[in-house]
Amino acid sequence: QVQLVESGGGLVQVGGSLRLSCAASGRTFSSYAMGWIRQAPGPGKEREFVAAISWSSGSRSYADSVKGRFTISRDNTKNTVYLQMNSLKAEDTAVYYCAARKNFDGAVLVGKTYDYWGTGTQVTVSS
């Protein structure tokens, strides 16, 4: 079992930066692939994959919409995964969820394949 708690969200202007953190409990954190998935406001908006990282940090994946602006990292000694977000755009406004799954494979791009989820942190980018 893995429990996840996100922090670091808030209100920022277009072009600004934020760093999200996700603290995990459980001794097996280091064996899980970790991901960030977001859900924008509005009816019919589905959760969207943002970024994922393997247990060893040797593999990372990003959505095309955030490549070059966002960086995912993890510190297994602190049971924490991070999402550094730079050059934020209004369309990055969403609730950001941290999630965990056992394997880092092609399915990391699919939000619903994750096994454990945090409760989310709100990111609002104002223009």
Residue type, 63: A
Tell me what pLDDT residue 123 has. Answer: 98
CA separation (Å) from 57 to 2, 20, 35? 18, 17, 12
- Model confidence at 106, pLDDT cuts 50, 70, 90, reads confident
Across the range 2-27, mean pLDDT stands at: 95
Whether residue 112 has pLDDT greater than 90: no
Tell me what pLDDT residue 53 has. Answer: 97
Tell me what pLDDT residue 30 has. Answer: 83
Across the range 12-19, mean pLDDT stands at: 98
- Alpha-carbon distance of 72 to 36, in angstroms, equals 8
pLDDT digits (tens, 9 = 90+) for 55-78: 988 899 999 999 999 999 999 999
- State what percent of residues in the chain have pLDDT above 70: 99
What count of Cα atoms within 13 Å lies in the side-chain half-sphere of residue 92?
32
